[in-house]
A and B are shown apart, each in its own frame.
Chain A
Amino acid sequence: MRKITYREALREALQEEMRRDPTVFLLGEDIGRHWGGAFKVTDGLAEEFGDERVRDTPISESAIVGTAVGAAITGMRPVAEIMFGDLTALAMDQIANQAAKIRYMFGGQPKCPLVIRTPFGAGVNIASHHSQSLEAWFMHVPGLLVAIPSTPYDAKGLLKTAIRGNNPVLFCEHKLLYPIEGEVPEEEYTISFGTAEVKHEGSDATIVATSYMVKKALDAAKTLDKEGLSVEVVDPRTLTPLDKQTIVRSVKKTGRIVIVSEDCKTAGVSAEIAAVVAEEALDYLDAPIRRLAEPDTPIPFSPPLEQYVIPNEKTIIKAVKEMV
């Protein structure tokens, strides 16, 4: 099967959906022909679909999302790009108060089919305002769906589903994933939300990991395999809805779980997953639930400091070994 990058997979998804449905259009800062997107995801799309449908916006995050809302409730399917996940903070009212609630508070009258794509994640030394992972904020807003693909295959399938769906989606990408290659079929496919994937089977411990941490978990699994420890890596792929069944099934099998997420530990994604496991699989736990996340600090600039705060293969291996 052919291999393409995460970035290319996203681009293909956008392209295919825009060809399929004329109501799909893109807006964001520098996504058009003059730059092609800060991370080059939309590169080439303006050339194919025109500047109206691949629209450069002023630096107005709030209005970017608000415009997407207004367009979505009047028959269009906008895909807005917020350049860095950290900047979603500027648009929080439109995301959490408007997009997420508009259907509910109007008694089901409108649907709001919009997608907000944005990259989270640390590791490229661009410091506190450009390196956060804030998906937990959005997991906490009823009315929003949250997707967090870790591979090119997952990215393409989930983005297509997000665009075709009728709900607002926070599509969480990761800067370090953009250049990563993976197998992606030529044929059309979509991935349903709420379907986690067991990316590596095992029996001694479960690692639930998201986004870039999935790759680290898989690297750890390989190393642990050699040492005779068999770990199962579960990738939720979407946080809302969360595939609790697959996670619980894995815990019942292994009795041990480490949850690895790149956000800050307190009230992060791992906290919610840990609570779910405690509620639904307590009697199968043979050891306390472990969470690996960034410490409760902003992301520092200097390379050794930044590397220190991000969970990595070594810390994952250590956590697993401490549990068995």
Chain B
Amino acid sequence: MASNLTKEKLIEMYQKMVEIRLFEEKVFDLYGQNLVPGTIHLYAGEEAVAVGVCSALRKEDYVTSTHRGHGHCIAKGADLRRTMAEILGKKTGYCKGKGGSMHIADFNIGMLGATAVVGAGLPIAVGAGLSAKLRKTNQIVACFFGEGASNQGTFHESLNMASTWKLPIVFVCENNLYAMGTRQSRVMNIENVADRAVAYGMEGVVVNGNDVMAVHEATIKAADKGRRGEGPTLIECKTYRHKGHSRVDPAKYRPKDEVQEWLRRDPIKLLKEHLMQKHSAAEAELQTIEKEAALAIEEAVKFAMESPYPASEEALQDVYA
């Protein structure tokens, strides 16, 4: 775990990762109390990817997300209260309760929204990248998707286009080994999604998705490349989700020892160890961060619970601009 990141930066990243973890655990609990409508797809275990990527981006850079997008949102800088309110379907949520867990967006921080159609975010990322290029703004687009999405036609169309047009896009594949209940090896004949990049004349790299610093570094490189006009990169982050696909999934299709092995490689734990060992961070210091994060989440829950639902008539609004 070598890195030339400052302690300060790492502490920031630690804070963000803890926030995501505690947020997801809280949403898990709220769901158990029947306070969350619909279903949720939790990011717990994959924090290093979102935080690693977003910490390498500028505020004006874009991000496209997926159904498993709470982590992307928070990592990019979304307000915890408005995110929680949206998940609970309240009027004060980012999308006024119209989107829910799978469709959170904050255009003010470049978070172009989560789409629930697997693979649909890729062409949209291409569009955002093309837009940045035409407007000459030097913006980067980070496009998150899973290894399952890499089999969707849109993945191939998008990488092809992005590469041909040399668009400033960082395609981030979060390979958590399972697309719902389907293990990667059952539906693909290759092990590394990154190997597909070469088919489109672009660079593909494999990264330890639980090492936030490695992810960060890979993203910096890819972003710089994109800003220089040299085209897109595909970063494949090998990671694992701690919970099932969605809230009601007990994930029995995953072997117990595999789960244990990945839990041992918990990205937050790894960063914590690194901070304490390599940057002399005190246990107390980190615990303070954890406490503050917990408080922030409590506040977010309070805000969301006290917020009203949108009025019925709002269902008819915002169809057209």
Contact = CB atoms under 8 A, between A and B. Distances in A.
**Touch test A–B (CB under 8 Å):** yes
A25 B135 CA distance: 11
A62 B124 contact: no
Contact of B157 (A62, A98, A142): A62
A107 B123 contact: no
A71 B153 CA distance: 20
Contacts of A48: none
Interface in B100-147: 103, 105-107, 112-113, 115, 117, 120, 122-132, 134-135, 141
B321 A75 contact: no
A70 B112 contact: yes
B10 interface: no
Given A58-B161, A74-B131, A93-B117, A67 B126 contact: yes
Interface stretch (A108-116, A124-132, A303-311): A108-116
Nearest to B112: A73
A98 B94 contact: no
A64 B93 CA distance: 31
B97 to A, nearest CB: 7
B160 interface: yes
Q: Which of B158, B164, B321 has the most CB of A within 10 A?
A: B321
Nearest to A74: B131
A108 B126 contact: no
Interface in B69-104: 93-99, 103
A76 B135 contact: yes
Contacts of B287: none
B117 A97 contact: yes
Given A62-B153, A94-B120, A97-B117, A67 B130 contact: yes
A18 to B, nearest CB: 12
A111 B320 CA distance: 8
A74 B123 contact: no
A142 B98 CA distance: 15
B178 interface: no
B115 A107 contact: no
Given A63-B158, A73-B112, A108 B123 contact: no
B252 to A, nearest CB: 31
B222 to A, nearest CB: 18
Q: Which 6 A-B pairs rank lowest in CB-CB distance, beginning with the nearest?
A: A70-B127, A66-B123, A107-B95, A63-B157, A60-B157, A107-B96
A228 to B, nearest CB: 45
A83 to B, nearest CB: 15
A66 B154 contact: yes
15 contacts: A58-B164, A63-B160, A64-B123, A66-B120, A66-B124, A67-B127, A67-B130, A70-B130, A71-B134, A74-B62, A104-B318, A107-B94, A109-B95, A109-B113, A110-B107
Contact of B134 (A65, A72, A76): A76
A202 to B, nearest CB: 34
A193 B127 CA distance: 27
A214 interface: no
A71 B130 contact: yes
Given A69-B127, A107-B97, A108-B317, 14 more contacts: A55-B165, A58-B161, A62-B154, A63-B160, A70-B123, A70-B129, A71-B134, A74-B132, A94-B120, A104-B319, A105-B95, A106-B103, A113-B321, A167-B321
B124 A69 contact: yes
Contacts of A63: 122-123, 126, 154, 157-158, 160-161
Contacts of A109: 94-95, 105-107, 113
B321 A166 contact: yes
A145 interface: yes
B95 A57 contact: no
Nearest to A98: B120
B98 A71 contact: no
